[in-house]
Amino acid sequence: MSTIQYKYKPENLTISDLPKYKVENLRNEEMLINIGPQHPSTHGVLRLEVLTDGELVVDVVPHLGYLHRCFEKHAQSLPFNQVIPFVDRLDYISAMNSEHAYAMGVERMLGIENDIPKRVEYIRVLVAELNRLASHFIAIGTYAMDIGAYTPFLWLFRDRETIIRMLEWTCGARMLYNYIWVGGLFYDAPVGFEEKCREFCDYLKPKLIELQQLVTDNHIFIQRTANVGTLSLPLAINYGCTGPVLRGSGLRWDLRRVDGYSVYPEIDFDIPIGEGKMGKVGDCWDRNYVRVLECWESLRIIEQCVEKLTKEHKRTTGFDPQAVVPKKIRPPKMDYYVRAENPKGELGFYFRTDGKSDVPVRVKVRACSFNNLSVLGELSKGTLIADLVAIIGSIDVVMGEVDR
């Protein structure tokens, strides 16, 4: 009968194995508070161990692992094309963007990225930008609710529902799509989809103006977010922050421009950055404002994609979006890293292949939410507990991507 071998025994415990803070070691006026893992303001199953001095935050220690689903192990046990449904479940709020990054990486390893039809690429960008809008709507709406405003949440979820129904029209799913395949698409865009996108853009523009008046220009919202949780640019770079968190600190770094993947080089759009209009550059208000401006840029991209799909790359009889989809995916032996600009930042996939199997040897995910969350402790020290909630919401994390 075998004996169970425990990793830790009382005699070989070290200080690193113990909790960072113990109740008996706290000083006068200090208190150890757990926020989460079941709490609306943590935006998922995130547990924060908060050391406070009165209402001031002394330190914050995030505890992860409550949503771990073994994505990387799954990806190393299945053929490349069967991994896409699991990719959807990383950042389940922006699954189209994650699929785009993964499919693009496998296509580059196979050397077929230049064989993808232009119509397929424009549809990919179109649905990805629609999903970017849906993701930002959740970020801005729930953030306003964290601050205390309920109406913007309802307005944005109303408009997000239109996007979700449009994406459901393309592939039959509301959130987990499995629409962008390696080498193509599950199906061509439905008949009338381009016109529906154009109508939606015309509808949404006045709604975004109302949103800015209701949220970003609101005096109470400014008081709660300006000069709060200021993230300096050197600190953001050192922590590996990306997306609106990095751009909110003043750096124009967007992989759609930097790497110029898919058809983004053919599309005209700007990269908004934080400018410290209401407080300091890199504060909570700036991060939220960058997301609002990115909604406008996504509308510009969608309109240009619709223009291309209705004029230069029209629907043709017999067009097959799966024409380049390989029947057997077996890349040569290599180590390869691909990255793309997700709504929350740089999503990267690292692949290692042996050249013999259609199952990868190693898959590693570079999750943007994980890096962005890691800076929380630095931003929260010395703030009020109420401001800690505002800082968490401004980072916009999805725990499915953090834990993977």
Tens digits of per-residue pLDDT, 234-272?
Answer: 999 999 999 999 999 999 999 999 999 999 999 999 999
Q: What is the pLDDT of residue 306?
A: 94
Amino acid letter, 276 = G
Write down the residue that tokens 């993230």 correspond to: 231
> CA 290 → CA 55, 285, 369, distances in Å?
29, 9, 17
**CA 299 from chain center: how many Å?**
18
Is 36 contained in some domain? no
Tell me the average pLDDT of the chain: 88
Question: At residue 24, does pLDDT exceed 90?
Answer: no
What the block records as the tokens of 355 is 């050249």
Tens digits of per-residue pLDDT, 308-325?
Answer: 999 888 888 888 888 888
Question: At residue 22, does pLDDT exceed 70?
Answer: no
Q: What is the pLDDT of residue 276?
A: 87
Helix (H, G, I), strand (E, B) or coil at 393: helix
250: left (phi over 0), alpha (psi -120 to 50) or beta: left
Q: What is the pLDDT of residue 13?
A: 38
Rounded Cα–Cα distance for residues 307 and 182 (Å):
25
Tens digits of per-residue pLDDT, 342-396?
Answer: 999 999 999 999 988 899 999 999 999 999 999 998 998 888 988 999 999 999 8
Report which of 131, 52, 67 is spatially closest to residue 99, judged by C-alpha positions.
Answer: 131
Instruction: Between 25 and 228, name the one with better pLDDT.
Output: 228
Instruction: Between 84 and 16, name the one with better pLDDT.
Output: 84
Is 30 contained in some domain? no
Rounded Cα–Cα distance for residues 282 and 393 (Å):
14
Q: 34: pLDDT confidence band, cut at 50, 70 and 90? A: confident
Helix (H, G, I), strand (E, B) or coil at 162: helix
Report which of 376, 367, 351 is spatially closest to residue 76, judged by C-alpha positions.
Answer: 351
Is 23 contained in some domain? no
Report which of 95, 260, 106 is spatially closest to residue 183, judged by C-alpha positions.
Answer: 106
Report which of 94, 153, 141 is spatially closest to residue 298, judged by C-alpha positions.
Answer: 94
Rounded Cα–Cα distance for residues 333 and 83 (Å):
19
Is 39 contained in some domain? no
Rounded Cα–Cα distance for residues 261 and 299 (Å):
19
What the block records as the tokens of 187 is 């199906």
User: Do 308 and 121 contact (CB within 8 A), yes or no?
Assistant: no
Percent of the chain whose predicted confidence (pLDDT) is above 90: 59
Is 363 contained in some domain? no
CA dihedral 200, 203, 208, 214 (to 10 degrees): -130
Phi, psi of 17 (to 5 degrees): -85, -10
Rounded Cα–Cα distance for residues 309 and 275 (Å):
35
Average pLDDT of the segment spanning 86-96: 91
Is 369 contained in some domain? no
Radius of gyration of the chain (CA): 22
What is the extent of the structural domain holding 104?
A: 95-328
Rounded Cα–Cα distance for residues 404 and 210 (Å):
36
Amino acid letter, 325 = V
**CA 212 from chain center: how many Å?**
22
What is the pTM (predicted TM-score) of this model? Answer: 0.90
**Which alpha helices (H) appear in 111-264, and where do they start and end?**
118-147, 151-171, 193-211, 219-225, 233-238, 244-247, 255-258
Question: At residue 1, does pLDDT exceed 60?
Answer: no
Question: At residue 133, does pLDDT exceed 90?
Answer: yes
Domain containing residue 308: CATH number = 1.10.645.10
Instruction: Between 76 and 19, name the one with better pLDDT.
Output: 76
Average pLDDT of the segment spanning 294-313: 93
Question: At residue 96, does pLDDT exceed 50?
Answer: yes
Task: Give the chain's domain count.
Answer: 1
Is 376 contained in some domain? no
Tens digits of per-residue pLDDT, 178-192?
Answer: 999 998 999 999 999
Average pLDDT of the segment spanning 263-291: 92
Is 159 contained in some domain? yes
Give helix 193-211 / helix 284-311 axis angle, nearest 10°: 160
Report which of 266, 382, 362 is spatially closest to residue 313, judged by C-alpha positions.
Answer: 266
> CA 244 → CA 113, 137, 226, 301, distances in Å?
28, 14, 16, 18
Q: What is the pLDDT of residue 160?
A: 94
Rounded Cα–Cα distance for residues 112 and 183 (Å):
7
